[in-house]
Amino acid sequence: MSVDFEIEIDDADFQRYMQTTGMKLGDIERYLDYELRTAMFNAEADAKYLAPIGKSPRSVDPLPHGKLRRSIHVEPRGDLSYALVADVRNIRGRGYAVYQEKGSIYQIARPFMGPAIRANIAQFVENIRGILVGAFKKE
């Protein structure tokens, strides 16, 4: 299971912004990448904190508690694109993070990735807004 987060920028607005501020493309990309990476690593920490832990009687994991938590990590997917991933599998090789997040007919949902992303998105947007407002004030 993964939650992808990617930034898409309208080219016309972006070109107008760059002309107005005098900022270079590389500077803006570095700012955006830093803020996005920071938000995703914060979401990773929150998801690990929120992830349910327990021991299945059929578990063969030598560290039974927290297998789901240990599987949560951030993967870069390209320019300004990161994914929050939980790739834990049961003994049959089936991923079960999605059943914890969304629930199933056999268990209630115990979401951990969605709340972690939502908890960090507002701060990310505020940081990006600050970068853009700060750049316009330099005029």
pLDDT of residue 89: 78
Task: Enter the pTM of the model.
Answer: 0.74
Q: Give me the percent of the chain exceeding a pLDDT of 70.
A: 69
Burial bucket for residue 68 (CB in 10 Å: 0-12, 13-18, 19+): buried
C-alpha closest to that of 2 among 31, 42, 43, 39? 43
Calculate the alpha carbon distances from 129 to 74, 81, 123 in Å.
Answer: 24, 19, 10
What are the tens digits of pLDDT across the range 85-126?
Answer: 988 877 777 787 888 888 889 888 889 999 999 999 888 888
